[in-house]
Amino acid sequence: MKNINTTPDSSSRLKASKLTAAYGDKVIVDNLNLSIPSKKITALIGPNGCGKSTLLKSLARVLPPTDGSIILDGKNILSHKTQAVARKLGFLPQGPVAPEGLTVKELVSQGRFPHQSLFRQWTSADEQAVLDAMSVAKVDVFSELYVDQLSGGQRQRCWIAMVLAQQTEIVLLDEPTTFLDLKIQVELMDLLATLTHEMGRTLVVVLHELNLATAYADYLVMMKDGEVLHAGDPVTIFTQKTLKQVFDLDADVIIDGNTGHCLCVPHYRYANKKQKRLKKQAC
Amino acid sequence: MLAASLANNSSLKWASAIGIFVLLCLCALLFMLHLSVGSKSLGFDTVFNALFNFDPLQFDHVIISQLRVPRAIIAVMVGSSLAVAGAIMQGVTRNPLASPSILGMLSGASFAIVISLSLFGISSPIYTPWIAAIGALFAVVIVFLICLSTSKGINSLNLTLSGAMVSAFLAAITSLFSLLDEENYDQVRVWLTGSLAGNNMEDITLILPWMCGALFISILYCQKITVLAMGDQVAHGLGIKTTRLKFELLAVVVTLTACSVAIAGPMGFVGLVVPHIVRLIVGSDYRWIIPSSALIGAIFLLAVDIAARTIIRPEEIATGVITAMIGAPLFVYLIKMKSAQ
């Protein structure tokens, strides 16, 4: 039954191979295999505690695996120099907090750190990368303001600009849309889609919003208890049955006639009863 | 838009560079003033001659070169070291309250020095910096162990609270020993309040290279500190080996603190107040914070020591008393100003 996507993908640059990750004795991700398709948006979804953030941190080499490995460009990621990895792969953790009194431009400039050294200081290429990143993420208008004065959505765009300034082909983002208004969530996802489809970046995003995930993901990964249960095109794997299996959620999956995206419509028990009652009263 | 933002950026850089230059001038001016005041006031011309046209037969020149110059150098070095140590700690722990005094390092260092004096009779200036370093390291390790043993781990509140507790506990034991051991206590009484007096050039030359080295490394590391201050995971993602960097910075901070305590005793508030003033002026980029902290720390301690030596002339007050008397209200004012923003 476990038709897990170990299908070797020759174009994939980033892979988890027999990955086991744990916090202390608590194993979160167990013997997991996954290839991240290049130049696509991969969305990781699953119930709370399923290990999706842990998997992302392992992929970003921020959390060293207890067993197995992460392979970047055919080599164990931990055998690369960490600063060299930072030129290929950017990572934005969940809910980052900027220090007080840091301006937007200063924050975004930190994304150039992996490209600098004691002997190679700030260059015009660095300056250009920062300006480009700020304009793509639409934070250039407040480049001289303090990050802590901005709204949640604007702040998240600044962090994304920082990762963009890093100019990596692979970008890993942990719940970039959490706690934001729906409109802002959609704007952010549009920004991420631009990065992939117009700028050819490989994105891996942990998402909570199922409908956002199915709308934007080219490759959907459904996780439960530290394992990948399903992975593939959202239209084929995101079904009533898999939702029940992965999330223990009773829901219908409908295909939106306009866009062809899958939509998850949960069975709201009380609300549905109320609807029926209202219908009866109307009769 | 592009040109405007570039111009803006470069004008900002100019402003900061001019700021550093002004601070340097102010520091030099206070250094000269520091040399001229004291139980006997000497004119700037005498100071100038003593420095650049030394005449060993003139008593005033001897006072300046033997007593006042070492003291002024100590004020500059201790002020810079404590301020930079505080700035680094605040960045690494992402806690604006972190400083050598609040995380127990000053009490740890003075605890170790008093204990080794009382129990083993060690008072040689060759050993004191090392003993101070062991004490400071011991205190900060205990503070972090206490934090790790709680369920919340290392966070701002835990660090500050356990730092205050370890500080109070070690200070109590230090007092106990110094009260029981009256003979040695006389030696350390003034030093324990923080004092810049009573050091000769030989004592300083033992310590100065360490302080200069640690300050130099701080400046080399300032960009990494900015990245680290954005959080461990972000820093790791940007290619920093966070654990290693933290240990390296701990070594720098322990060196700066231990050297300061060894020559000047536990001088409170410099490491807390100065980085706060600096951040109000230059923001959160450690490439500016570290050099500015060094300069403003030196200026602060020079100014305080000038006050300590002139208020009840010809007597003088221990400098540590004045740093606390000025530092505490200044800090309250800074907090008020920040919350008003």
Q: Do B239 and A82 make contact, defined as CB atoms within 8 angstroms? A: yes
Cα of A110 vs its chain's centroid, Å = 21
B246 CB near a chain A CB, below 8 Å? no
Residue with tokens 């220090």: A99
Write the ipTM: 0.88
pLDDT digits (tens, 9 = 90+) for A172-194: 999 999 888 898 899 999 999 99
- Nearest residue in B to A127, CA atom: B6
Nearest chain A alpha carbon to B3: A131
DSSP calls for B289-335:
HHHHHHHHHHHHHHHHHHHHHHTTTTS---HHHHHHHHHHHHHHHHH
- Any chain B CB within 8 A of the CB of A138? no
* Start-to-end CA span in chain B (Å): 29
List, in order of start, the domains of chain A with CATH numbers: 1-88+168-248 (3.40.50.300), 101-165 (no CATH)
| This prediction's pTM | 0.89
Question: Between chains, do A86 and B238 touch, taking CB under 8 Å as contact?
Answer: yes
Cβ contact (<8 Å) for A106 and B283?
yes
What average pLDDT does range A245-270 have in this prediction? 88
Say if residues B246 and B93 touch (Cβ distance below 8 Å). Answer: no
- Give buried/exposed letters for B23-39 (b at 16+ CB in 10 A, else e): beebbeebbeebbbbbe
Q: What is the pLDDT of residues B89-131, one digit of tens each?
A: 999 988 888 899 889 999 999 999 888 888 887 777 788 888 9
pLDDT, tens digit, 9 for 90 and up, residues B247-275: 999 999 999 999 999 889 889 889 999 99
| Contact state of B279 with A84 under an 8 Å Cβ cutoff | no
- The candidate with the shortest Cα–Cα distance to B295, out of B313, B314, B275, B311, is B275
Q: Considering only CB atoms, which chain B residues are within 8 Å of A101?
A: 279, 283-284
Contacts with A107 from chain B: Cβ below 8 Å: 230
Query: Which residues of chain B lie closer than 8 angstroms to A110, CB-CB?
Result: 226-227, 230, 238
DSSP A138-160: T-GGGTTSBGGGS-HHHHHHHHH
DSSP states along A214-262: HHH-SEEEEEETTEEEEEE-HHHH--HHHHHHHH---EEEEE-TTT--E
Q: Give the residue from chain B lying closest to A85, CA to CA.
A: B239
The predicted model gives B293-314 an average pLDDT of 92
Decide if B161 contacts B95 (C-beta within 8 A). no
Taking residues B66-90, report their average pLDDT: 94
Rounded distance between C-alpha atoms, residue A275 and residue A203, angstroms:
41
Q: Which of B233, B240, B337 to mutate to test the interface with A (most CBs of A within 10 A)?
A: B233
Q: Is the bond into B314 cis (omega within 30 degrees of 0)?
A: yes
* Tokens (6 digits) for A177: 């849309």
